[in-house]
Structure 1
Amino acid sequence: MDYIHHPLALANAVIELEASPWLALDTEADSLHHYVEKLCLMQISTQDKDFVIDPLVKLDLKPLVALMSRKPLILHGADFDLRILKKTFGFMPLEIFDTMIAAQFLGYDKQGLSDLARKHCAVELPKGAQKADWSERPLDEKLLIYAGNDTHYLKTISDLMKDELTGLGRLPWHRQTCEKLIRTTQLSHDHKAGDDIAWQVKGSKALSGAALTILKELWIWREAEARRRDRPSFKIMNSEILIDLARWSSANPGMDAALMPKAPRHVRNEHRDTLNRILEEAKSKPQAQFTRKPFLSKSRSWTEASTQRLGAMKADREKLALELKIHPSLLAANAVLETLALAAPKNRQGLEVLGCLLPWQIDVMGESFLKIGNLI
Structure 2
Amino acid sequence: MEVGSSQSQPQSTKQKADALQSLSGPFSSSIAKLSGSSRGIPSNKDFHFYCNFNEFNAPITEIADTSQLMLDTIGYSSHLWGKEMAFPDEFDDVYDWLVNVNDELFERFDVSADEFEKLRKQEEERGSKLMSLVDSESGFQLVYGKKKGLNQLMEKDLSSSSSSSAVKVASRDRKTMGTKQKIPFHIPTIPRPQDMFKIVVNNSNQPFDHVWLQRSEDGSRVIHPQEKFSALDFVDKNVVEPVKPPPTESTSFKLVEEVKDLKELAAKLRGVNEFAVDLEHNHYRSFQGLTCLMQVSTRTEDFVVDTLKLRIHIGPHLREVFKDPMKKKVMHGADHDIMWLQRDFGIYVCNMFDTGQASRVLKLERNSLEYLLSHFCGVTANKEYQNADWRLRPLPDEMLRYAREDTHYLLHIYDLMRIRLLSASTESEDSVEPLVEVYKRSYDLCMRLYEKELLTDSSYLYIYGLQGAGFNAQQLAIVAGLCEWRDVVARAEDESTGYVLPNKTLLDIAKQKPVTTNMLRHLVKSKHPYVDRNLGSIVSIIRHSMQNAAAFEAAAELLKEVRVETASEENTVSADGNEAQLPESPARLTTTATESIGGGISINDSMTRNPPGSVHVKESLELGSRTAGICRNGQENSSHSGAQATVQVLKKPSRAFGAMLGNSTAKRKFDSDKKVSSLTLLFLQSFGAFIRDVLV
TM-score by length of 2: 0.37
Is residue 38 of structure 1 aligned with residue 290 of structure 2? yes
Cα deviation per residue 1:8-51 (whole Å; 9 max; x = unaligned)? 22222112111111121111122134444222211111111111
Which range moved further: 127-136 or 146-155?
127-136
Q: Measured at CA, do residues 11 and 220 of structure 1 come closer, stay the same or move farther in structure 2, by a change above 3 Å?
A: same
Is residue 93 of structure 1 aligned with residue 386 of structure 2? no
Match of 2:277 among 25, 29, 51: 25
Is residue 63 of structure 1 aligned with residue 317 of structure 2? yes
Q: Structure 1 residue 288: deviation in Å?
A: 6.6
Could you tell me how far apart the structure 2 residues matched to 1:230 and 1:254 are? 27
| Structure 1 gap segments, 5+ residues each | 260-264, 292-310, 319-328, 336-376
Q: Measured at CA, do residues 61 and 181 of structure 1 come closer, stay the same or move farther in structure 2, by a change above 3 Å?
A: closer
CA contact (8 A) 1:23 1:44 kept: yes
Q: Measured at CA, do residues 172 and 129 of structure 1 come closer, stay the same or move farther in structure 2, by a change above 3 Å?
A: same
Which structure would you say has the larger Rg?
Answer: 2
Cα deviation per residue 1:350-371 (whole Å; 9 max; x = unaligned)? xxxxxxxxxxxxxxxxxxxxxx
CA contact (8 A) 2:279 2:293 kept: yes
Secondary structure at the counterpart of residue 294 of structure 2: strand
Counterpart AA for 2:462: V
Could you tell me how far apart the structure 2 residues matched to 1:254 and 1:3 are? 51
Could you tell me how far apart the structure 2 residues matched to 1:35 and 1:148 are? 27
Q: Measured at CA, do residues 228 and 165 of structure 1 come closer, stay the same or move farther in structure 2, by a change above 3 Å?
A: same
Q: Structure 1 residue 77: deviation in Å?
A: 1.3
Could you tell me how far apart the structure 1 residues matched to 2:306 and 2:342 are? 17
CA contact (8 A) 2:335 2:445 kept: yes
Alignment of 1:233-244 (within 5 A): 233-239=497-503, 242=506
Query: Which residue number corresponds to residue 453 of structure 2?
Result: 191
Match of 2:483 among 219, 230, 234: 219
Could you tell me how far apart the structure 2 residues matched to 1:289 and 1:182 are? 43
| Structure 2 gap segments, 5+ residues each | 1-252, 429-433, 556-572, 585-696
Q: Measured at CA, do residues 152 and 219 of structure 1 come closer, stay the same or move farther in structure 2, by a change above 3 Å?
A: same
Q: Structure 1 residue 2: deviation in Å?
A: 0.8
Cα deviation per residue 1:44-80 (whole Å; 9 max; x = unaligned)? 1111111111222364641312111113211111111
Secondary structure at the counterpart of residue 129 of structure 1: coil
Match of 1:171 among 425, 435, 443: 435
Match of 1:13 among 260, 265, 276: 265
Which range moved further: 275-284 or 40-49?
275-284
Secondary structure at the counterpart of residue 11 of structure 1: helix
Cα deviation per residue 1:101-133 (whole Å; 9 max; x = unaligned)? 222233333222111101110012233222332
Query: Which residue number corresponds to residue 44 of structure 2?
Result: none
Is residue 142 of structure 1 aligned with residue 406 of structure 2? no
Alignment of 1:255-334 (within 5 A): 267=524, 278-285=541-548, 287=551
Query: Which residue number corresponds to residue 184 of structure 2?
Result: none
Could you tell me how far apart the structure 2 residues matched to 1:219 and 1:113 are? 36
Alignment of 1:245-264 (within 5 A): none
CA contact (8 A) 1:45 1:152 kept: yes
Is residue 201 of structure 1 aligned with residue 462 of structure 2? yes
Could you tell me how far apart the structure 2 residues matched to 1:148 and 1:80 are? 19
Counterpart AA for 1:221: W
CA contact (8 A) 1:4 1:10 kept: yes
Cα deviation per residue 1:284-309 (whole Å; 9 max; x = unaligned)? 34837999xxxxxxxxxxxxxxxxxx
Could you tell me how far apart the structure 1 residues matched to 2:260 and 2:514 are? 64
Secondary structure at the counterpart of residue 293 of structure 2: strand
Counterpart AA for 2:269: L
Q: Measured at CA, do residues 157 and 60 of structure 1 come closer, stay the same or move farther in structure 2, by a change above 3 Å?
A: closer
Match of 2:445 among 181, 193, 199: 181
Could you tell me how far apart the structure 1 residues matched to 2:456 and 2:392 are? 30
TM-score by length of 1: 0.63
Q: Structure 1 residue 89: deviation in Å?
A: 2.2
Secondary structure at the counterpart of residue 51 of structure 1: strand
CA contact (8 A) 2:509 2:523 kept: no
CA contact (8 A) 1:226 1:233 kept: yes
Q: Structure 1 residue 177: deviation in Å?
A: 2.1
Could you tell me how far apart the structure 1 residues matched to 2:387 and 2:333 are? 17
Q: Structure 1 residue 276: deviation in Å?
A: 6.0
Cα deviation per residue 1:150-186 (whole Å; 9 max; x = unaligned)? 1111111122223333416422332222222223x31
State the percentage of identical aligned residues. 25
Counterpart AA for 2:477: T
Q: Measured at CA, do residues 175 and 285 of structure 1 come closer, stay the same or move farther in structure 2, by a change above 3 Å?
A: farther
Structural RMSD (CA): 4.4
Cα deviation per residue 1:328-360 (whole Å; 9 max; x = unaligned)? x9xxx998xxxxxxxxxxxxxxxxxxxxxxxxx
Query: Which residue number corresponds to residue 119 of structure 1?
Result: 375
Alignment of 1:41-56 (within 5 A): 41-55=293-307, 56=309
Secondary structure at the counterpart of residue 280 of structure 2: strand
Could you tell me how far apart the structure 1 residues matched to 2:409 and 2:554 are? 45
Secondary structure at the counterpart of residue 28 of structure 1: strand
Q: Structure 1 residue 269: deviation in Å?
A: 7.3
Secondary structure at the counterpart of residue 24 of structure 1: strand
CA contact (8 A) 2:377 2:413 kept: yes
Could you tell me how far apart the structure 2 residues matched to 1:177 and 1:197 are? 32
Counterpart AA for 2:322: M
Query: Which residue number corresponds to residue 79 of structure 1?
Result: 335
Could you tell me how far apart the structure 2 residues matched to 1:72 and 1:200 are? 41
Could you tell me how far apart the structure 2 residues matched to 1:222 and 1:195 are? 13
Could you tell me how far apart the structure 2 residues matched to 1:73 and 1:60 are? 16
